[in-house]
Amino acid sequence: MATPPTMKDVALAANVSVMTVSRAFKAGSTVAAAKRALIRQVADDLGYVFDSTASNLRLQRTGFVAVIIPSLNNANFADTVGALSAGLAADDLHVLLAYSNYDIAVEESLIAQLLRRRPEAIVLTGGQHTPGARRLLERAQIPVIETWDLPAHPIGHVVGFSNEATMEAMVDHLTSLGLSRLGFIGGDAAFDTRGSDRRRGFLAALAARGLPAHRLISGGQPPVKMAHGAVAMADLLQQFPDTEAVVCVSDLAAFGALSECQRRGVRVPQDIRIAGFGAFDIAQVCVPTLTTIDPACAEIGRRTAALIVSILRGDAPPAVPVTEAIIPHLRIGGSTVQPPR
């Protein structure tokens, strides 16, 4: 057959009306059991596949939830999206995923594209957007959820945490070890807003303690990869050899830094301490394990999914925009504190 069979073809073959075929495929509708079985059999024989594009148009509902993440290739965002998809699946909502490559201009164009697909909700990573993007989102008649951040001026709902605030606990940990010469790797670019939020938080924490805050090494444009962390560590060791501990924008950079230390015979944590961010798998496998901050990626996804479901399908959707604060957790590893043996 040239064109795929439609309900009409099935109806013809089963000798019923199109409407009956439609009902036969919908649970809870009144069709004689025998007829329903017949219709499904006929449909299967014909190779009929339900056409959701038609249904979407008629019902004015697509079942799509648009999601924009900075990068596909990042275990943290993957965990969030995984939990999000899982949480939406039960309510027949499907993630329409796009990635911005850490560029809010790209994000804006993705938003414009995605909205044409008529998603029922849209999930963003981060709280910083172009004015154009804000405008599009404010006019879109769908729930907007910003994640992975606590924006000062949210567009709609929020499920996230303050990247800046996480650094307080980290610096607290390091200073409680009696350390005062602290460095930071990563987060310089105007692009990586979450990374520079962390750096800002780091600097604020140092300032609050009256500690020097000049040991900063760029990790280059995001995504900051392992190899960049290694290069940055080499820079740090050369420029500021007296550094006692370095906080990295992510565990990937931190592992790169650790590897550079290994290559140079610099002992971690004896000679220098290293901390990361994100609680990536590698943090608990590498030697020593990395001190890091667990931002509860999956929890963000779960809570976002639950929020969306309650808004779209729930009987009591929230009247005002919701902000759900996630509490990241400091996880101490061998890269800052030598385990007792």
Report the interface residues with its own copies, using CB under 8 A.
Answer: 3-4, 47, 49-54, 56-57, 60, 62, 72-73, 75, 78-79, 81-82, 85, 94-99, 113, 115-118, 139-141, 225-227, 230, 252, 255-256, 259, 262-263, 281-282, 284-287
Q: How far is the CB of 203 from its own copies (least distance, A)?
A: 27
For helices 193-208 and 163-176, angle between their N-to-C axes, nearest 10 degrees: 40
Residue holding tokens 């390091």? 174
Shorter beta-carbon distance to DNA: residue 24 or 261: 24
Shorter beta-carbon distance to its own copies: residue 2 or 152: 2
Total residue length of the chain: 341
From 41, 47, 59, 208, residue interacting with DNA (rule: CB under 7 A): 59
Q: CA 16 to CA 30: how far, in whole Å?
A: 14
Shorter beta-carbon distance to DNA: residue 52 or 338: 52
Binding status of residue 45 toward DNA by CB under 7 A: no
DSSP structural state of residue 148: S
Q: Which does 132 bind (CB under 5 to 8 A by kind): its own copies, DNA, none?
A: none
DSSP structural state of residue 29: S
DSSP string computed for 248-304 = ESSHHHHHHHHHHHHHHT--TTTT-EEE-SS--GGGGTSSSPPBEEE--HHHHHHHH
Q: How far is the CB of 4 from DNA (least distance, A)?
A: 7
- The window from 56-64, 81-89, 159-167, 187-195 that contacts DNA (CB under 7 A) reads 56-64
Q: How far is the CB of 187 from DNA (least distance, A)?
A: 42
Shorter beta-carbon distance to DNA: residue 32 or 327: 32
Q: CA 252 to CA 234: how far, in whole Å?
A: 15
Other C-beta atoms closer than 10 Å to the C-beta of 97 total: 17
Which residues neighbour 57 within 8 Å (Cβ) at sequence distance 6 or greater?
A: none
Subset of residues 20 to 39 that bind DNA, contact rule: CB under 7 A: 20, 22-23, 25-26, 30-33, 35
Other C-beta atoms closer than 10 Å to the C-beta of 71 total: 15
Q: Which does 32 bind (CB under 5 to 8 A by kind): DNA, its own copies, none?
A: DNA
* Bridge partners for 94 per DSSP: 64
- Binding positions for DNA, rule: CB under 7 A: 3-4, 6-8, 16-20, 22-23, 25-26, 30-33, 35, 50-51, 54-55, 57-60
